Structure 1
């Protein structure tokens, strides 16, 4: 997969190491040089076991030929590996757009989307520009919908503001390419995080996996749905593990597997995955926030402080990280520190959008449980995406045993246990 492959860019690495980390028997390596509108692509297919070159080629082409080159390379590799192609005339690479600039913008948008930070807004802009260049580019509409969903989930925009935009983009994408895995994945993620439409979420995410069994995004969203909504732990974990198998060096996927394991109560395994994700991406705040919450949940609150402080800094003081730190401070009896976080988040909420769930968690950490549930009621109205994890994730531990949480669960519409 793209993320794991790109991990080996730059300095020379032993082929055996590449093969071992990716669990593959053959590797395609090469280089791309661009001069003006000209491309020179050098590629070679190499056996990991002995370094034998099965095939090599050099392509000197114009930029508009890039899609044709992809198909030529794919055919050459399939021939050398004796892969059945199912018909000589059918192209192996079907361009989703004929506009090369739109294609580049789409790839940039996907890159920014994977960062899960303020870069999310850059991702939306890239997808928007790609659509302007090619109004029939289904992948760009799917990317735009994904960007809206994740922007809402991470609290960078009010969910009820972006939901209509995301739904319109999904419906347009479905009208253009009803059998595209990425489109069904975007539809399923939106239904899961923002709409709380479980039937459609399950149907679309399963359809995405059916259309493209190598879709790591679809498998990961499906794993979250299965674990956090349906409570089908083994099936959900299996989907998350398969996603990591397909892209083993993608820190986001490894972190998401850790979060899935936490939701299933498999804490020791979760810790190993979160540590691994942190090692793969030291500047990503997500592994450290989940690791801190895990340590606190296990009664290791002293150990939780350090990773949570890293998460606060790395995220630019994202409200999730501050709320997680407040939970930990509360466990340690550091109420003055909890108050300081409460004051900061409430001040920010007066001038910008702040999700209600983190505010509720901080209120609970201060011992203000009634206020916390008032905020959770508001979160229901806002369609706060964090609520889809509220049954089984330790972030809301302080509120999960209060009988009033059942009212919140009914509002979200969780299926009966």
Structure 2
């Protein structure tokens, strides 16, 4: 069939009209679905399936328009018309392209997905949550606290890159192959272990595992009194540093810390656990107050107390002016005490920065936040507050950059992706908004920002 005759036949069979009508209807349907699906809590894959069906429907509609000829006698099947082979080939190609788009867009292909393998730094390490083998589930706060404390000590070892807390705690109680976990976290070494507590006695077993082959580089069991828990954490960090000395190039130097009252430390860990959960902040404040009352020289207790006061402001449903003033007074006093005891700690600078921000001293707040990041580049919490501060004062591009740096450091930190979403939405970057929402849903399907992220973007910024 000549090309002119072929196009004439396409017009006669209304293939152009059918194709154009289908594209318009499909586009409108996809736009409606992109807004409606998140509002009804549809799973992340539902929209992609819907778009795939819409894409596959186009070549099918075109072929149907060609094959079925509308005549005065009704619709008749006419598969023998010349030129059909070319049309069928084009339709098949469109189907292949649609399927390719779908499978290429799956999480295993997506750049930046939380499960995407990362090229590991030879000096990188992750501390997996230590198992609580005390036989008492209510002792989880202690084993989790020991994990976090060891992580913080290791973060101070020169040249050692430590994965942030939120990312490693994604693997709590999930088991799995160490090599696969290491691949997901992008590290070459993993520390795992267990904690058994019996009153004032604590037994900790720790082992250092090489991710490449699962080989146990070092393992040891410690029996100690709870009052010497800081010395124990420091010793474990030094042993790990010594085992990695060849790759680090220097010996691990971990400054000694003064012993702490066991009851004060217990109260501190209980308060920290509640602060992380955000479920009972008044009790968290009570525990941290008890900790600093028993150990008034414990700077980390004071900074944690200040940070808990600050978080309480955002999690209090019925805020009154009087209660807000009480929170700020408590936050300020605790931060001031932490600064007097340990001014060069990242958590102290973070707490002092929060106070400055609450008092609308934004330049001072930024200075303290940057100082905290300089002291501990692996401390994600201050980076989240820094990204939020930049967003609040209108430096949205800077906020977007800070948020991206945060999720690169701690890809499983869901609030970090909220900051990415907020900045991207303000800058009208739909792809970044969609990526942030995708990551939030992958980490925590129940988070409101993940469920409504695309809908909020569409409504607030008039984007379909």
| Higher RCO, Cα 8 Å, sep 6+ | 2
Match for residue 136 of structure 1 among 280, 285, 297: 297
Q: Please say if 1:101 is aligned against 2:266.
A: no
Cα distance in 2 for partners of 1:289, 1:105 equals 37
Q: Please say if 1:209 is aligned against 2:373.
A: yes
Cα distance in 2 for partners of 1:260, 1:104 equals 39
Cα distance in 2 for partners of 1:175, 1:214 equals 23
Name 2:131's counterpart in structure 1. Answer: none
The alpha-carbon distance between structure 1 residues 48 and 298, as it changes in their structure 2 partners (threshold 3 A), is same
Cα distance in 1 for partners of 2:239, 2:300 equals 26
Runs of 4+ that moved beyond 6 A: none
User: Offset of 1:25 from its aligned partner?
Assistant: 1.0
Cα distance in 2 for partners of 1:154, 1:291 equals 24
Q: Please say if 1:228 is aligned against 2:389.
A: no
The alpha-carbon distance between structure 1 residues 227 and 264, as it changes in their structure 2 partners (threshold 3 A), is farther
Q: Please say if 1:56 is aligned against 2:219.
A: yes
Confirm or deny: 8 A CA contact 1:142 1:186 kept in the other structure: yes
Alpha-carbon deviations, 1:326-378, whole Å to 9, x = none? xxxxxxxxxxxxxxxxxxxxxxxxxxxxxxxxxxxxxxxxxxxxxxxxxxxxx
Cα distance in 2 for partners of 1:197, 1:173 equals 19
Match for residue 248 of structure 1 among 391, 404, 411: 411
Q: Please say if 1:10 is aligned against 2:176.
A: no
User: Offset of 1:245 from its aligned partner?
Assistant: 2.8
Name 2:424's counterpart in structure 1. Answer: 261
**What SS does the aligned partner of 2:187 have?**
coil
Cα distance in 2 for partners of 1:146, 1:246 equals 21
Confirm or deny: 8 A CA contact 2:396 2:426 kept in the other structure: no
User: Offset of 1:208 from its aligned partner?
Assistant: 0.9
The number of residue pairs the alignment matches comes to 295
Trace 1:2-401 onto structure 2 (pairs within 5 A).
2-82=165-245, 83-84=248-249, 91-92=254-255, 94=257, 98-116=260-278, 118-156=279-317, 157-158=319-320, 159-192=324-357, 194-233=358-397, 235-288=398-451, 290-297=453-460, 299=462
Name 1:346's counterpart in structure 2. Answer: none
Cα distance in 2 for partners of 1:121, 1:62 equals 30
Cα distance in 2 for partners of 1:7, 1:38 equals 28
Alpha-carbon deviations, 1:193-223, whole Å to 9, x = none? x211112111111111111111111111112
Cα distance in 1 for partners of 2:345, 2:239 equals 25
The alpha-carbon distance between structure 1 residues 217 and 165, as it changes in their structure 2 partners (threshold 3 A), is same
Confirm or deny: 8 A CA contact 1:70 1:93 kept in the other structure: no
Name 2:114's counterpart in structure 1. Answer: none
Cα distance in 2 for partners of 1:39, 1:288 equals 43
**What SS does the aligned partner of 1:43 have?**
strand
Confirm or deny: 8 A CA contact 1:74 1:92 kept in the other structure: no
**What SS does the aligned partner of 1:178 have?**
coil
Cα distance in 1 for partners of 2:255, 2:408 equals 23
TM-score, L = length of structure 2: 0.58
Confirm or deny: 8 A CA contact 2:369 2:383 kept in the other structure: yes
Q: Which has the larger radius of gyration?
A: 2
Confirm or deny: 8 A CA contact 2:425 2:461 kept in the other structure: no
Structure 2 runs not aligned, ≥5 long? 1-163
Confirm or deny: 8 A CA contact 1:78 1:84 kept in the other structure: no
Confirm or deny: 8 A CA contact 1:102 1:133 kept in the other structure: yes
TM-score, L = length of structure 1: 0.64
Confirm or deny: 8 A CA contact 1:30 1:44 kept in the other structure: yes
The alpha-carbon distance between structure 1 residues 94 and 283, as it changes in their structure 2 partners (threshold 3 A), is farther
User: Offset of 1:256 from its aligned partner?
Assistant: 3.2
Cα distance in 1 for partners of 2:412, 2:169 equals 9
What root-mean-square deviation, in Å, do the aligned CA atoms of Structure 1 and Structure 2 show? 2.6
